[in-house]
Amino acid sequence: MTKRLRLADAPRLTKYGHMQFTPQLPDLSHPSGMASVSEIGAATEEALVHSASRLATPALVIQAAVVRRNISRLAEYAKRHGLLVRPHTKTHKSQMMARLQLEAGAVGLTVAKVGEAEQMRPTGDDLLMAYPAVDSARCERLAEIARNGTLRVAVDSRQAVDALATSACGANSLIGLLVEMDVGLGRTGVGTPEETLKLAQYISGIRGVRLDGILCYPGHIWAAADEQEPFLSTVSSRLRAAQALWSEHGLEAKIISGGSTPTAYQSHLVQGLTEIRPGTYIFNDMNTFRAGFCELSDCAAHIVCTVISDAVKDQVVIDAGTKTLTSDLCIPARESGHGFIMEYPEAKITRLSEEHGQVDVSLCTKRPKIGERLSIIPNHICPCVNLRDVFWWCEPDGAAVSVKINARGMLS
Ligand SMILES: Cc1ncc(COP(=O)(O)O)c(C=O)c1O
């Protein structure tokens, strides 16, 4: 039987600029229709409960109330604008978080990898892999997943279509395809509306796959929310041109999938979009905060670490290095260091080795002590989650439960 104990050493009251930050977050009521997370936690087989004194650092602590608020805020926005939400699970890689998103109205889940799809299948019967699959090893596993529910995959080449179709026919399943169009990132996706038409026509004549629509990812848009309109209008016109061409040729794009965290709340400016796929919004991080897409209090994921050395003048060392915080710099503020220490806003994490973080405390009025616990908001939360087996789900009353990160390390 599990017993719920208190996480007494949650981050203390601290100050960032004019903003007060407190770990005892307001008790936000559960949005209607959303199950209580402690119920879900208790139902999670791998859930373990530990006392605060046994919480080994570095630990990933997730503030439950902030997650609930982030999920319901996006759900309400999407509902208001007639958009469906298909959150990207690459951020949390957790069945429990996916369940919360689905209970708040998400239409299905997005994944990047087959391993993530396999892990998310028990939770979501409608999955989209927004990542190319071109080899038989990957496609055979996808075809198997498609036997137990809806599976769609984004494609930008005939090779991918052929590989998926062959595997689907072999497994007697059907895979829905979205033609990916590049809308400015220059990563994957065919370059023009005409090319989307060619690929769509190719797909519509092939057994084992079904043409479902168009996918785009506006990952290049990091402008402030109120300056995004011109960028999003370019995305709109490209999507509209593709859709018009498809319908001229008797093809229908039932799904037009787009969205990201930076553009999430401006998605209504993209005409024709049917669904959005933000991922980071569930936890947020210093990238989303410093770019102005959330408040510091919307950052749900904290790395709790311990000061392990103060031997060098004006410096302390924490037990979190690249194996915890990753090497990612903050996209909008590359000079800001390797994360934000909530209790010491003037401190700067200047250098990381694998298990050590060197912190310049020369500007701090008070110096952190050896053994003191610090809470860090990482620059980029998604790869940090992928480095851990569990996170600590912390309720506003301080109770914490350890939750397995189901798809961590599932990169194939
Ligand atoms: C194809 C695709 N869709 C959606 C997302 C989610 O975007 P964000 O990280 O801004 O939430 C990503 C992020 O990498 C992505 O690659």
pLDDT tens track for 344-355? 999 999 999 999
The chain-wide mean pLDDT, for the chain, equals: 89
Q: Is the CB of 261 under 6 A from ligand 1?
A: yes
In order of start, what are the domains of the chain with their CATH numbers?
Answer: 14-64+286-404 (2.40.37.20), 65-282 (3.20.20.10)
Cα(60) to centroid(ligand 1), Å: 22
First to last CA, the chain: 36
* Paired residues of 308 in beta bridges: none
Distances 134 to 139, 153, 154, 166, 356 between C-alpha atoms, Å: 7, 11, 11, 11, 39
Q: Is the CB of 88 under 6 A from ligand 1?
A: yes
Cα(344) to centroid(ligand 1), Å: 31
CA atoms of 36 and 194, how far apart (whole Å): 48
How much is the pLDDT for 55? 82
Confidence class for position 54, pLDDT limits 50, 70, 90 = low
Q: In the predicted model, what is the mean pLDDT of residues 225-237?
A: 98
Q: Which ranges of 81-171 would DSSP assign to H, the alpha helix?
A: 95-103, 114-120, 136-145, 158-171
Q: Is the CB of 263 under 6 A from ligand 1?
A: no
**pTM, whole model, 2 decimals?**
0.89
Q: Is the CB of 279 under 6 A from ligand 1?
A: yes
Q: Is the dihedral of CA 208, 115, 376, 9 positive or negative?
A: positive
Q: Is the CB of 189 under 6 A from ligand 1?
A: no
How much is the pLDDT for 365? 96
Name which of 53-67, 250-264, 280-294 the model is least confident about.
53-67
Confidence class for position 400, pLDDT limits 50, 70, 90 = confident
pLDDT tens track for 91-106? 999 999 999 999 999 9
Q: How many residues does the chain have?
A: 412
Res. 283: pLDDT tops 90: yes
Q: Is the CB of 337 under 6 A from ligand 1?
A: no
Cβ neighbors of 360 (< 8 A, separation 6 or more) are 314, 315, 347, 348, 350
Q: In the predicted model, what is the mean pLDDT of residues 255-275?
A: 98
* Atom nearest to 91 CA in ligand 1: 9
pLDDT tens track for 199-224? 999 999 999 999 999 999 999 999 99
Q: Is the CB of 246 under 6 A from ligand 1?
A: no
Cα(279) to centroid(ligand 1), Å: 6
pLDDT tens track for 175-198? 999 999 999 999 999 999 999 999
Q: Is the dihedral of CA 99, 103, 104, 106 positive or negative?
A: positive
> Which residue spans within 157-215 are E strands per DSSP?
175-180, 209-215
Q: Is the CB of 119 under 6 A from ligand 1?
A: no
Confidence class for position 5, pLDDT limits 50, 70, 90 = very low
Confidence class for position 399, pLDDT limits 50, 70, 90 = confident
